[in-house]
Structure 1
Amino acid sequence: MCVIRFIILTYIITSTAYAGVYKWVDDQGNIHFSDSHPEASSADQGFETVKPNKPHSRLPQVKVAYPKAYNKNIPASPLAVTPLKAELPDAQYGEISVGTQWAGYQCDKKVGKLVWKVGNTYLADESALKMIQNTLIKNNYKVTENLETRFILISKLKKIIVDTCDNYDEGTSKSDVYLKIEWSVFDSLYRKKQISIDTDGASYASSYGNTNQNTSQAILSAIQVSFDNFLSDQRVADSVAINIKLLDTPNKFELIKIPLRYPEEQLTFKQRSAIIKKTAATIRNVSGHGSGVLISSQGHILTNAHVISEGNQFLVFLNNEEYVAQLLRKDVKRDVALLQTTTAPDIQATVISQTLPDVGDTIYVVGSPLSESLKYTVTSGIISAQRERKGLSYYQTDTVIHPGNSGGPVYNKQGELIAISVSGLISAAGTSMGINYLIPVNDALATLGIIQGTAPEKTATQTANEEGQAKSAFGFKTTHITKQKSTLSTGSFSQKPSEPATSTSTASSANILRTNKDKAFDLYQSALNAKANREFQRAIHLLQQALDAATIKQKQVIFDELHIDTPYAYAQYLIQQRDIDEVNTIINRMKQYVSQTRNRIANLKKIEQLETTLQHLSSAEQANMKANLTPVKIYIIETYLTTGQAPQNLQEMKTFFMTNFRSDITSKFKVSNYERQGRSIRIIFEDYSENKTTLSFTLPSQ
């Protein structure tokens, strides 16, 4: 096979032949070319006779049709056009005869044969490509230059006949061209041809410049006729008119509410393996595939942004079923994306963990490495480290991960989703090097603006059947009253707006609320229990649900819990984990909320407590850093006293530091700045959490 970048026609002397060509129009207005005179008279058929190049022609007649413009109600999908390719019989064996060279006033002198050969210099495929693109645009089709799109127009030259005639007396050159092209619309998503149609094209008695220029123009004209015939077929429009259900896409500032699943009981990965297998998604795009995970029964799928590239429609394979999915949102920097299937799968979503993994924990990676046929491949390993890269958090793992795993789910020993795969180091041989990275699932959800939502409305019967299960999931039995003390005042939840708050107990108010079927209180109590168990993300989701069910008075109490009390508890936990950046983010959010509320004094005290704790922690870390780096100061002074030498600039200091100190120091700290003026030295060190400390001292006189 060869691409028609150029066509070469060379001459081989053989015998003489003759030809004649006719052009005529039928009753329907269709134009025809024929190598023989129509049987009916010119008056009956309306044909016109084209001045023949030769007394006899072997070129067949070609019906010429007008292209049909795209006029469907469904927008046409973008269509990419590839260069015309040649698949001529026996072309692989070298030169093949494609026509005859004639000469003379009557084109009756046979000069030689025209031979197909790759490598000519006068007909570039770019001309045909642009011509086809322009024809599509004129007929209301969408054209894209991006070949990584769903629909691709592929064309193959199956047959070509070229006869030329040089009239030396008149100094003219004419060409007759006939060709047959196979036109196909290929669906890259389904990996199959939507349609494949063979059409003829012809350009007879073309006259344009010299023989080479004339033949080039005649071939282009014949390609145009063939393409017009192709575009006249209604199946072309049908092939790019994909009628699928379009989902409502949220704007970038809108939170996406999804009925996420959290653990209701302690199980193992093996015990959850059935649902894990069903929710493991293989995502096919136009150029390859990746992995994902079903996080809601409504068809929401979490994956990497690089898996979906620039596309917006995808094929998703779940539980051996095929679904069309649409992009709802993506974040390229965090490399996460959210898809949703256009029809909800009858599958229960995966369970999301409420606890963070520790270094050394066993994990399981699920995905479709290398090939779609390897779907639901499970590999295991451990969390090797927690890393920060360009300000983003990652888990590092030694678990074997290959291309195709991207976006796939990662589970802990309880079979709960803790992360999704994103990248790893691959050797030159294409094997994993045991250094791979995972995106924490909570980071992925937060980046995409996903919060706990509710499932679609259920019937009264379904609601009644599921009410007990829902309360059990929140940690309550139907008749059980939690012992967790609520900060919701009894009055705000049990009294009418005009009535003062009473001092009844939490238990009695809870009984009243259950009698009144107050969902807000149940959700609020569940949130407090989640907070006490350090399940902070779940607590936030429950509080957001409680807001939807709360009265105006109830909402203020829930707002304070959501924006002050739960974040305060979460920040205290993060301080223990030394996640200072996240604590500062929480403090800033709390300040923003306090500035818009009345009860500022009590809330400001909590913010001040957090800031004071951070200051003490920072001072302690500074002191600890200086204590660890004191040997550096002492060694510089000792070296100066014995040799009279000390680092002069930053580069010398970095070299001095790396060559003279143990790895337990150099692996924790790096020199970020160095200043020396005479005997005065100032060194700024930075640890790998970007905490800085300064050593300032004066070298002694010798």
Structure 2
Amino acid sequence: MTPPKTPRRLATARLGCLLVAGLLLAGCNTTKPMEMPRPTHTGVSAAAANPMGGLEKMALTRVVADIPRGTVIAHLPSSGIDDLEGHLCNYRLSGNGTLMEWAAGPSSSFGDWDRDFARIFRDVMSQAGYEVAGDPRDLFGRDEELAGTRYQVGARLLEIKGNVCQAHDWVYAFPMDSFSAEFYVKVEWNLYDTLSKETIKRLTTEGYAKRTRSQEQGLMLTLGDAFAVATEILAADKEFHAFLSGENDSPALAAGRAGTSPYDSPITIAEVPDSARPMKETMDRTLDSVVLVRVGGGHGSGLIIDPRGYILTNAHVVGEADTVMVRLNSGIEVQTQVLRRHKGRDVALLKAPLGGLVPMPLRTRPAERLETVYAIGAPFDESLSATITQGTVSALRTDDKSGWGWIQSDVSITGGNSGGPLVDGNGNALGIVTQGIPTHLTHLAADLNFMVPIGEALDALNIRPAQPGS
């Protein structure tokens, strides 16, 4: 007869079974810890070290992962990791124990990681003395606040490495939803200036973090800690701080504030005397000075400023293209070179390989409030080229940050008008159509639109009308 098992015997037998099972299963997990950098950061942010105030508000627009699909980002080593807590760790795994190939996407293991990173960025930067717009926890007002910021920051995850230990029940040896971990991240930061419309700073930082105690959210917490360290290093960068303090403006914006152009050599165009005749009497000539600009799958408008083929339009119309198609009012189409562009002032200079074109008179004398004006272009569709709409000069504005001027008008413009001329009653160009604020956003009876004064457009591209007698 077998003697009854005492509680002590039961515990001893159970422990023996666990040890045997552990030895058998542990031998199946051959995973080694993932090798990774372990950078340290002990500095303070430039903003905190120099709390002078006056920093521009910034916003984190997006965090994206630029990691090849299928990349293994973490190991679950059989032997565990130094200092990481986890009873039995990952002994149940067989073969190579890896955590998440990036092809499956991060959401299954890290939840809403991009929103969490946005919150971490805001918290770290705010503690470092920066002003950050757009609380990611705000359900309604975040987009409106982001739209009012000058500087936008985009984060690109270039690399993630980690080692993870999953805790197991110490009696029954089943895996629990509790993890200790170490993670390394490499982040590329892009600082974008909405005034100059250019990326003015790129900086790569690294972060490393370890959580030695097992926690239910141990994976995301540790990865978030590593991202926070990378953010702290960004906050400590002196050049990053200099941009936000206005000490290190972009070349294009600095040139605009100084009233100069980033282009050293001037381009001289023929002087065209202002027209004194009503546009009704010179309609054909005026329309012959307006062109359609086609690039990619979209189009805009432009105005001829010199008989040799020089044409003004918007920088956002041509984008990054070196050549675009231009269609004259006569129907002739020609491939045209983009010579110059100023993204901040949103103007560009084209050169068509044609001569004998009809230039539009350029009125550098300022527009007057309540003056009747007309926008000419191709709204919506190319078939609607040479459309003329009438409005009034509502106001003359100056941007406080850039010092650039704007002509405000209620003249109706839509997509396709961009780059076309705003003319006075005699067909003289006052400005270049640039942007509009839709009625549903402004709650106004008519659209609120802004145009670049023609004189500032010429200055931004270093274009000089020939002097009389030259």
The alignment's TM-score, normalised by the length of structure 2, stands at: 0.48
Higher percent of residues as helix: 1
Higher relative contact order, structure no. (Cα contacts within 8 Å, ≥ 6 residues apart): 2
Larger radius of gyration: 1
